């Protein structure tokens, strides 16, 4: 399992129709689901840097996707 960058994660979030709603100390990305619930993902502003593995797993969980889905969308 390789590492991914914050920029790659932003690209995947855009493909999943997440929008950046806030940019302060960290960026907040969100997506409203058909049932009315909202998924929120918090990202650091770091550009091009690798995401630590422990944090990457938490970010995938916040986005509601698994590693395979992330990899597929990253390559598209």
Delineate the domains of the chain, giving CATH numbers in brackets: 6-75 (3.30.920.30)
Contact (CB, 8 A) for 74 and 4 = yes
Q: What is the pTM for the complete model shown?
A: 0.89
pLDDT at 2 (0 to 100): 59
Contact (CB, 8 A) for 41 and 63 = yes
The Cα–Cα gap between 27 and 41 comes to 8
The Cα–Cα gap between 1 and 29 comes to 25
User: pLDDT tens digit string along 13-70?
Assistant: 999 999 999 877 889 999 999 999 999 999 987 878 899 999 999 999 999 999 999 9
| Secondary structure E strands in the chain | 19-23, 27-32, 38-43
Tokens of 76: 């598209």
Residue 1 pLDDT greater than 80, yes or no: no
């Amino acid at each position: 399992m390789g590492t991914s960058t914050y920029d790659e994660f932003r690209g995947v979030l855009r493909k999943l129709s997440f929008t950046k709603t806030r940019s302060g100390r960290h960026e907040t990305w969100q997506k409203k689901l058909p049932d009315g619930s909202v998924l929120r993902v918090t990202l650091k502003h770091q550009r091009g840097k690798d995401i630590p593995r422990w944090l990457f797993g938490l970010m995938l969980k916040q986005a509601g996707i698994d590693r395979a889905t992330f990899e597929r969308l990253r390559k598209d």
